[in-house]
Amino acid sequence: MMKWTNVLVTVGSTRFDKLIAVMTNNQSLEVLSSMGCNNLNIQYGSSDCPSVIGTKFKINITTFDYKNNIDEDIRRADVVVGHAGAGTALEVLRQHKPLLMVINDELMSNHQKELANTLQSEEYLCYCYTNTLINSLKYFNGKQLKSFPEANPQLFANYVDNIFFDNKDCDKYH
C-alpha cells in the first residue's frame, strides 16, 4: 500500500461536485487516513466549498477555489487526484507527480475519456470515474507509472517549419 502524506485534489476551472463529494466523504477519508494522509488540499473551482472536518481521521483539510498558479501545491503533493482536463494533466505530469485522473461522465461531448485513455495506455497516469474512485484510491500505485517526458519546444518549431517550408504542395498556392 502506498503512503501518501500530502494529497491534492483539483477540479481546475470547472465544476465537478461529484469529485469533491466523493473525496470528502467518510469512506474516502478513511482510505486516505489508512494510507498515511495527514494533509488533504482541495481545489474546488466552481463547486461549492466543501464543509469537511477530517479530525475523526486526523487529516488536516484545506480548501481553495482558485489560484493563479497551483505549481507549489502540486510540488508538495505526494499524489494528485484531478479532473481529466488537459491543462491539469500537463501541470501534474510535468512535475512528475502520480496522477489519478477522474473523468466527469456528466459532460456533453466528453473528450476526457480519450485523453485519459491515451495517457493511461502510455502508463503516465491512471484514470477512473467517481463511482470507482474509492476503490481506485485503494489500489493506485503511482510508482508503477512512467515519468512524463520533459517538454521540448523545438518539436513545435520543427512542426511549424515543416508545414510552411517543407510542404511542396503548398508551393502551388503562392
Can you give the residue ranges of every domain in the chain?
A: 6-148
- How does pLDDT run across 114-134, given as a tens digit for each residue? 889 999 999 999 999 999 999
CATH superfamily membership of 6-148: Glycogen Phosphorylase B; (3.40.50.2000)
Element holding 7 (H helix, E strand): strand 6-10
Angle at 49 between CA 16 and CA 6, to 5 degrees: 80
8 A C-beta contact, residue 9 and residue 137: no
Q: Which three cell numbers stand for residue 121?
A: 495506455
Give the pLDDT confidence score for residue 108 in this predicted structure.
61
DSSP per-residue string spanning 44-72: -TTSPPP----GGGT-EEEEES--S--HH
Give the pLDDT confidence score for residue 159 in this predicted structure.
64
> Exposure of 26 by Cβ count < 10 A (0-12 exposed, 13-18 middle, 19+ buried)?
exposed
- How does pLDDT run across 20-67, given as a tens digit for each residue? 999 999 999 999 999 999 999 999 999 888 887 656 888 999 999 999
| pLDDT top residue among 6 and 162 | 6
